[in-house]
Structure 1
Amino acid sequence: MKSIINKTLTVAAVGAVMALGMGQAIAAPTPVAGVIVGGPGETTFKFSNLTESFVDSVGDNLFGFGRVTQINDLNEGAFCASGGSCELTYSFRDYTVTTFNPAGAVSTAVFSGGIIDFFLDDSPDSNLATTTGFTDGTPWLSLVGFESTETSGPNAGETGTLFSSGASFNNSDLIRGFGAGNLSITGGAAAEYFGNGNIVTLSSSFQPSPEGWVLPLSGTAELQVTADVTPPTEVPEPATLALLGAGLLGLGAAARSRKQRG
C-alpha cells in the first residue's frame, strides 16, 4: 500500500509542476496607461519622427516636437491598449547649448538641461510640418535630462545631457548629424510602471526639414526604457488548483483503502 501512496504523490506532484509551468506567463506586451509596452523587466523601444529648432551658438535653446510611430514590434495604432485609434506624441524643450564646435571634419555640440513630455490622446491629428497637435491629451510620461560624461567619440570628456556630432552644424541647409543622451523619469501616468528616477537612453538623427516646414530640422529618435517592476508572485491557475485537489482526493482514497484493509 505504501507504494500506491508514493505513486499517487508522484503523479500529483508531476502534474502540479506541469500545470504551474503552463500557468507561468513569460514577460509579454503589457498595457500601461493606455499604451502597450514591454513586460516587466523588458526594454521598451519607442521609435519616432521629429522636427526641431536650429541652434548655432552657446546659450541657444533646442526645442521641438515628435510623434511615436512604433513601440517594439507594434506600429502606430496597434500599440493603443483600447484597440481603437490613438497617438503618442511628445514635445521637448530647454536643451541649452554649452559647447559648440562647427569647425573641423566633425561638428560637435553639447547640451545641458532638457525636458521631454509625452502625451496620449485618441484623436490622431499631430502634424510635423505645422507643429500642431503635439501636446493634446493626458501626460503619459515626463522626463528631464540626466547629466553624464562622454567616454568615447568626438565629444569624449564632455559633460552634458545631450551630445551631438555630424557635419555643417553652422548651416541649416546642409546640417546632418546624430544625438545621444540620457533622461530621468519624473512623472506621468506611466511613471510608476517604468520607475520614477530611472534612466532612459535617447538617440536621434537630424537633417534639414522639407520645404515649407515650420521648424528647420527634422529626423528620427529612439528611446529605450526598461520597466523596473518585478513580475507579481505567480498564483496557481484554477486548473492547477483542481489538479492539486484531485491529487489530495486520490491520497485520501488510498489512505481509506489502507485503513479498511488493515
Structure 2
Amino acid sequence: MNIKKTLIGGAAALGLSTSALAVNVGGVVWDPDSFFDFTSNSNLIEDLLDPGPDGVFMTADDVVDTLNGFGLVTGINGTNESAFCPSGCELTYEFGGFTVASFIPDGGGARIGFTGGWVNFYVDSATAYDPGDKSTAVDGGAPWLSLTAHETLSGIHGIMTSIDATLSTYGGGTDAGLGGGLLDVVGGAAMANFDTDTQTDGADWVFSTSFQPIPAGPTPDGLELFGTADFRGTSIPEPSSIAILGLGLLGLAGASRRRQK
C-alpha cells in the first residue's frame, strides 16, 4: 500500500491538515504532503575541468578531470531559508568524485559523461555561508544527508554514467552548460525520510545543474565556476507522525465498529 496515500487519507479522516505532517529534521522543516513534496534550489560553486590536447583528460597535477564543489540551499518547496530553517540554520552541501569517463566534442562545446560521485548535506547554525570559502559549507558536523551517484546507461555515451553534461562552450576557461543525474541515499540524520527508491531506475533523488565561469575569476579556494543545482525526491513523514496517524485510524475503526453494533 502506498504510504503517502494512506497518510493523506488518514489525515483527511481525522480532520487534520497536511501541515500537521510537517517534518523537522535537525532544524530543517518541510511538508512531505505539499505540492512539491521535497524540491530544493541552491547555488553552486565548482571546479573548472581542464582538458589536455583534443579533449583528452590528462593526469598532471594542474589538470582536473573530477567535479568537486559546494553550495547553499536557498529554497525548499518554494519557501526561503527563513521558512525551511526557522531556527536560523543553513542547509549547505559538498560534492565530489564525479569523474570524466567519456568526452565528445560538439562544435565549440562538448558532451561529457561522468562516473561515480557523492553529495553530502550539512545543517550549520554557527558560521555564515561564504561562496568564496568552502569550509563554511562543510562545518556542520555529521552529514544531514549523504548520497552517492546512481549510474544508468547513457544513450549518448554508451556507458554507465552518473552525470550527462552538455556544455555550450568549453575549454580556455569558458565552460558553461547543463548537467543532471540520479542519487541514492546512504546515510545521515534525514536518511529515513528519503530512502524511498521512487525515482527513475529506483534512485532516491534527481538533480540538475547549470554552470558558467565566475566573471571575476577563481575564488580564494581556486574554484572557477558558479551556477545553480536543483534536487528533488519523494519524502515520508517522521515515524512519530506515522504512529500518531496510525493510532488515530485505529480509533476511527473502533468507533465505526461500535456504531455498526
Normalising TM by the smaller chain, what interval?
Answer: 0.7 to 0.9
Distance 2:89 2:12 in 1: 37
Q: Provide closer, same or farther for how the CA distance between residues 149 and 228 of structure 1 changes in structure 2, counting only shifts above 3 A.
A: farther
Q: Provide closer, same or farther for how the CA distance between residues 228 and 79 of structure 1 changes in structure 2, counting only shifts above 3 A.
A: closer
Matched, 1:225 2:225: no
**Does structure 1 conserve the Cα–Cα contact (< 8 Å) formed by 2:99 and 2:115?**
yes
1:29: how far off? 3.5
**Does structure 1 conserve the Cα–Cα contact (< 8 Å) formed by 2:108 and 2:170?**
no
Match of 1:35 in 2: 28
Show structure 2 runs of 5+ residues with no match: 1-10, 52-56, 59-64, 198-202
For the residue of structure 1 that corresponds to 2:212, the secondary structure is strand
Amino acid at match of 2:125: D
Match of 1:187 in 2: 187
Q: Provide closer, same or farther for how the CA distance between residues 78 and 25 of structure 1 changes in structure 2, counting only shifts above 3 A.
A: closer
Amino acid at match of 1:225: G
Deviations 1:79-135 (A, max 9, x none): 11xx32110111111111001233426511111110111110113512112333011
For the residue of structure 2 that corresponds to 1:78, the secondary structure is helix
Match of 1:148 in 2: 152
Q: Bigger CA drift: 36-45 or 60-69?
A: 36-45
Matched, 1:87 2:90: yes
Distance 1:47 1:101 in 2: 29
Deviations 1:172-204 (A, max 9, x none): 1x2210010111110000001111765211100
Show structure 1 runs of 5+ residues with no match: 1-18, 252-262
Q: Bigger CA drift: 62-71 or 33-42?
A: 33-42
1:33: how far off? 3.1
For the residue of structure 2 that corresponds to 1:77, the secondary structure is helix
Q: Provide closer, same or farther for how the CA distance between residues 189 and 165 of structure 1 changes in structure 2, counting only shifts above 3 A.
A: same
Distance 1:103 1:76 in 2: 39
1:211: how far off? 0.8
1:35: how far off? 0.8
Larger radius of gyration: 1
Amino acid at match of 2:210: S
CA RMSD of the aligned region, Å?
3.1
Matched, 1:169 2:170: yes
Matched, 1:211 2:205: no
For the residue of structure 2 that corresponds to 1:55, the secondary structure is coil
Task: Give the TM-score taking structure 1 as reference length.
Answer: 0.73
**Does structure 1 conserve the Cα–Cα contact (< 8 Å) formed by 2:97 and 2:117?**
yes
Task: Give the TM-score taking structure 2 as reference length.
Answer: 0.73
Q: Provide closer, same or farther for how the CA distance between residues 126 and 158 of structure 1 changes in structure 2, counting only shifts above 3 A.
A: same
